[in-house]
Amino acid sequence: DQQVKQNSPSLSVQEGRISILNCDYTNSMFDYFLWYKKYPAEGPTFLISISSIKDKNEDGRFTVFLNKSAKHLSLHIVPSQPGDSAVYFCAASGLSGGSNYKLTFGKGTLLTVNP
């Protein structure tokens, strides 16, 4: 049972436009959400996070929105740059099994930003 879902395997946008990556979750115990960026043959890099007490968190070109009632979050990248081309993973954590810092990852979305 996949608790964190990224339903779009890939996304292609033009340089300078907005990229919107989506993520849905099913476990209502999740209370912290993270986005990671990953280049091929490298480890993921932490990008931005949001706690369930907030509905928005912004860091430069990256903004994460959280809709708790819909169990949905999204990552907005504005403006998109070719260097943003990578796989983006959504991850979630919460009070599960006593290990409240275990992360559950989605399968990722490959973002391609075209010059």
Partner 1 sequence: DGGITQSPKYLFRKEGQNVTLSCEQNLNHDAMYWYRQDPGQGLRLIYYSQIVNDFQKGDIAEGYSVSREKKESFPLTVTSAQKNPTAFYLCASSIGPRGLYEQYFGPGTRLTVT
Q: How far is the CB of 31 from partner 1 (least distance, A)?
A: 9
State the amino acid at position 15 in one-letter form: E
Question: Strands 56-59 and 45-51: what pairing?
Answer: unpaired
Give 63 or 89: the residue with its C-beta nearer to partner 1.
89
For partner 1, the closer of residues 42 and 83 by Cβ is 42
18 and 76 in contact (C-beta within 8 Å)? yes
Structure tokens at 64: 């994460």
Residues in CB range of 40: below 8 A, 6 or more apart: none
Residue 1 contacts partner 1 per CB under 8 A: no
Assess 9 for contact with partner 1 (CB under 8 A): yes
- Cα–Cα distance, 20 to 24 (Å, whole number): 13
Residue 112 engages partner 1 in binding (rule: CB under 8 A): no
**Which residues make up the interface to partner 1 (CB under 8 A)?**
4, 6, 9, 32, 34, 36, 41-46, 49, 89, 93, 99-103, 105-108
